[in-house]
């Protein structure tokens, strides 16, 4: 008889933060209850309450990229919890250095910093007993990365891809052609069945986006 109550290896919780409604994501290893907070852009009390609700222990912070709504309060949270920050790729040093100025412009707290570890394409990060693959996916920013857990068919893709849309490329270091190339060459090979949490909006699957996304569907890319 099949056991249908088996706990998945990875669980994820979305915490919408900042006035821009950014999807801060808490992921954890269900075996160890060790967790990572991905893109803590702000609203730290809200993030900490979600961590407590999940009953997990945060062991690191992961960043997809350096924009204020994703990275603004990463340093204060890391200092408070005594954990390291991993990511993004070093090309986003530009954004992390200007978090203070961007925070003032957006009315969001922004604390400049350098991560404990820059990430590169092909790197891995661990969360408890989970190992996630890192892919460098420039276009939205030059140093954007995504995190993929192959056994769970799960990815956190930051602002590369959204349900029905793609990341904006009109900010410094953005490039629309590069972004589309990142999606097609880095995301699609991970498998259409992959479910993803984007930086904003609702989760989706690569299969859904390949069929319906007006920017990067298979039909759109043939046009």
In a domain, 3, yes or no: no
- Give CA 221 to chain center in angstroms: 24
- Taking all residues of the chain, what is their mean pLDDT, rounded to a whole number? 96
How many helices and strands (H and E) does the chain possess? 8, 13
In a domain, 218, yes or no: no
CATH of the domain at 200: 3.60.15.10
Cα–Cα distance measured from residue 184 to residue 160, given in angstroms and rounded to the nearest whole number: 11
Residues 150-185: pLDDT tens digits? 999 999 999 999 999 999 999 999 999 999 999 999
Q: What range defines the domain where residue 151 resides?
A: 10-212
Whether the model pTM is above 0.75: yes
Take residue 33 and report the two structure tokens written for it: 């209850």
Total tally of structural domains belonging to the chain: 1
Residues 24-42: pLDDT tens digits? 999 999 999 999 999 999 9
In a domain, 37, yes or no: yes
Find the angle CA(114)-CA(75)-CA(34) to the nearest 5 degrees.
105
């Amino acid at each position: 008889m099949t056991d249908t109550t088996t706990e998945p290896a990875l669980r994820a919780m979305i915490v919408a933060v900042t006035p821009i409604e950014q999807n801060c994501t808490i992921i954890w290893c269900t075996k160890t209850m060790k967790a990572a907070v991905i893109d803590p852009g702000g609203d730290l009390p809200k993030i900490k309450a979600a961590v407590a609700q999940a009953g997990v222990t945060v062991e690191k912070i992961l960043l997809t990229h350096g924009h204020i709504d994703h990275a603004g309060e990463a340093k204060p949270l890391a200092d408070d919890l005594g954990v390291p920050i991993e990511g993004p790729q070093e090309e986003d040093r530009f954004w992390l250095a200007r978090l203070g100025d961007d925070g003032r412009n957006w009315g969001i707290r922004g604390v400049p910093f350098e991560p404990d570890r820059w990430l590169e394409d092909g790197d891995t990060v661990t969360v408890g007993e989970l190992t996630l693959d890192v892919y460098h996916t420039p276009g939205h920013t030059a140093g954007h990365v995504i995190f993929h857990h192959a056994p769970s068919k799960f990815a956190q893709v930051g602002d590369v891809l959204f349900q029905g849309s793609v990341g904006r490329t009109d900010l410094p270091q953005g490039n629309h052609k590069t972004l589309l190339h990142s999606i097609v060459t880095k995301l699609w090979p991970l498998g259409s069945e992959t479910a993803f949490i984007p930086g904003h909006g609702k989760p989706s699957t690569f299969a859904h986006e390949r069929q319906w996304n007006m920017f990067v569907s298979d039909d759109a890319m043939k046009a």
